[in-house]
Structure 1
Amino acid sequence: MLISGALLFVVNPLFNERGRHVLFEWVSHRVTLEAVVLGGMAALSVMGIIALFVSYNEIMTPNKLLFLFSKIMPQFAVLLMLTLRFIPLMRIRLGEIAAVQASKGITVVSGTIRERAKNGMLYIQTLLVFSLEEAIQTADSMKARAYGTGRRSAYHHFRFRKLDWLAFCVLIPAFVFAVYGRIKGWGTLAVYPIMEGVGLSGAETGLLIAMICFVGFPAIIELKGAFRWHTSN
């Protein structure tokens, strides 16, 4: 995340000379304040998107997906779970197959191009056979357990507690207000043709507080847990 953000932050002022406020000149190249601000905004946006997907993969486990959709759409829940874990699982299996084949002297990092291509196709063939066999075993197991034919029980129980209702009451209004403020155009910074001031109005300040509450709520929960852990010890 930091590397991607730093790359965008540096690249934009190097290739973009637009702007009225010149910070300095370097080898006949104008570095403007507008280009730096726009690069910072792009960097923060990309870092936020990466953090969103990383956090989703860390939080939404297959058990949680099954818990949310298994009762109303069991087939869709299984399909969604398999789709989301397809690429990571294939990469893990391919690494295992490569390690086993390398112990037999079959590798794709040495030899002629024809030999490496042949060994690579062997990797893929083994991966497909392995995946199909496991898929058949999973389907037979689900059929034997009568998955999707009746009410499903789960090993992991996720219960909605009072603290969850409190979090729900905080997050939903903050999210709705943030969406409303975005529709109204609050909190936007126009860089071109003339850069606006960075001051916030009353409504924009409220929007910023709502966004901080919504985005920073998980961090608040983690800090609360860490504080209770240290004080209990």
Structure 2
Amino acid sequence: MTSTEQTDYVTDVDGVLQITIATAANGTSMDFAGINAGNAALRAPGFDAGAILLTGSGANFCAGGDVRGFAAAQDRSVHIHGLATDLHEFVRALDAARVPVIAAVHGWAAGAGMSLVLAADIAIGGSSTKMRPAYPGIGLSPDGGMSWLLPRIVGTGRASEILLTDAILDAEEARRLGILSRVVEDEQVLAEARALATTLANGPRSTHASIKKLLVQSKTASLSEQLDSEREAIATAAASPAGREGVDAFAQKRKPNYAGQA
């Protein structure tokens, strides 16, 4: 996408790919037109954004799945299987992205909406933000990666309690648990998240990619293996355009300019 190209669900401005994952239609339930448009944008051959921003329009970030749509489906199992397939392809694309993923979480993030918050690298919530797994309330099990992501953020025991009791988490509790990175005033959520995404998009993209890769590897690596990976990564970075610019700028006592740096 160019810096001015946009669709109803995906915009690319100043290096930030903004994806709307829920709309006011159907009570801010997950909008799969947005999910699929976002998935297509993330997998496009010309993808060159420096950050990804997940947002919802309407009163909430995402109130979860369209339960009325579930109920109306001729074959509920087939219907939900198809939705989960599309959602999971989107989560895989977010996970594979070499750039930071930021979620602007206003209002409720429930069900699969909460899963997408967990999938973000940085999540910014408002003082009124609330989260809830919501699956036990409708007799379903988690999707969107929640059963994998939540225990890695809050620990297995706490994740079990949250999922099994269908706990409602307010903004401060979500921040304390590490689900939200920070909490701001409700009206500042989108502006704060967009400003952060723009700052990251204009930063050293190769550094961000390396950080994300190291964090993923750390989930299964031993300390010794991770030390080897860090050594190779920092040595590679030292010879990269971004690494040279960053070190030279520090030595010359100026602000680094990472524009055009890989």
TM over 0.5: no
TM-score (norm 2): 0.21
Between Structure 1 and Structure 2, which shows a larger proportion of strand residues? 2
TM-score (norm 1): 0.23
Between Structure 1 and Structure 2, which shows a larger proportion of helix residues? 1
Larger Rg: 1
